[in-house]
Structures are given as C-alpha cells and as structure tokens.
Amino acid sequence: MNGIILVDKPQGWSSFDIIRKFRNQLSTSNGQAPKMGHAGTLDPMATGLVIVLVGNYTKKQDKFMKLDKVYEAKITLGSNSDTDDAEGNTTKISDHQPRQDVIESALNSFIGNISQIPPQFSAIKVDGVRAYKKARSGGSTKLKARDVNIYSIELLDYDYPTISIRCEVGSGTYIRSLARDLGASINTGAYLSGLRRLSIGDLSVEDAISPEAVNEENIVDVDN
C-alpha cells in the first residue's frame, strides 16, 4: 500500500486520531499496519483537508508540506486568547466595532511576504522543547518571527464581532497568528474562532473522504 488518502477532518479530531484509526482499518490479516504519516496537521478545532501518507509516500512528506494552502476562517474581535483561538482562555480587550473598510484595509496590509510570530501553543521546538508543552505548564517560549507568504485575503462577511475570510497562504503560515495580529492592528484584540482547510496545492477537500469511510480503494498513487 503506497499513496495518499485525502481526508475531510471533522471538528474535535486531531490529525493523529485519523492516523490511528486508519492504521487499525487498513491492517492486514496478520495485524500488520502500513507505515503512515500526514502532510500538515490541523488543530482539533479545525476541519478540512488532511493528506495522509501511506507506505513509501511517508518519505515525500516535505514535498507535500511545502505546498500552498487555502483556508476559510472565522475571526472573533474584542478579545485575545492565550492560544490565539477559541480553545484558550480569553481576555476582553475592547467593545469598539470597527467599520468594514477599516477591517478590509487591515487585512490587505497582511498580504505579501510578511514577518509572523508563531503562537505560543505551537509545535515549534526551542532548545529541544515544543512550545506548546512549555505553554501548557504555564511558561512561555521566546519564538522568533519568520517570513511567511500570504497571497490573498478575501473578506467574505462581517457581522460584529465575527469576520469571515478566505485566504491563500504559503507553507508555515499560522492563521491563528494572522487573527491575533489583525486584532492588534485595529486595537480590538482578536482570536481565531473557526478554520476550514479547503485545499493543499492542487488537492481539494471536495475530493476527500470522511475518516469513517476509508478503505484500500481510497489510497491514490498520485505519481502514476
């Protein structure tokens, strides 16, 4: 078994939950499970496309990880979150309701090659320790800003306090950080309150299956 499986991850599942389930479902009669991995995690809160790598495709992880991605996201104004999303502890910042043109201008300012600091609750390692592990114990990690590419941001809807956007981004971009930085730029505070990944490169969530539906026929060898 070699190839990829496109999965539409439900809310509440981790990417590793999917891998564990697939290993059980695709085990051979002698209990042997194929080697598996994934090409880019999604937080449990998020939904959408996850690429599961099977067999020798696990060696191609970097190739898939570097592909551009498209997301739809909901951002809630007025508060900050210690995780930069709805799963964290929030702190009220402001009741100010910015005009739509102000929000559109702020969003446009993030398009291009920008410097972005990852969230404290991220898998980035500093001195061999993942940032989220230190954050969970009440500490913090000095994370370095890094260059990321945001190709486009489209404002889909604005109904205070919620903004809905669609964005196309390069590898390594955190939508949680974009939400946090948007809130800072318009002095209201903000956090990510919903996220759905629509595509990775040319691969679309429209072609994905639910985790419950997997079988060997869903494994696609995209090199052939």
Catalytic: which of 8, 43, 85, 181? Answer: 43
Q: Name the nearest CA neighbour of 177 among 150, 158, 140.
A: 150
Task: Classify 199 as helix, strand or coil.
Answer: strand
Q: What is the CA radius of gyration of the chain?
A: 19
- E strands present in 127-177: 129-130, 146-159, 162-169
202 belongs to the catalytic site: no
As to burial, measured by CB atoms within 10 angstroms (0-12 exposed, 13-18 middle, 19+ buried), residue 91 is exposed
Q: Any bridge partners for residue 9, and if so which?
A: 48
SS3 15: helix
Element (H, E) at 203: strand 203-204
CA pair distance 182, 187, nearest whole angstrom: 9
What is the set of active-site residues? Answer: 43
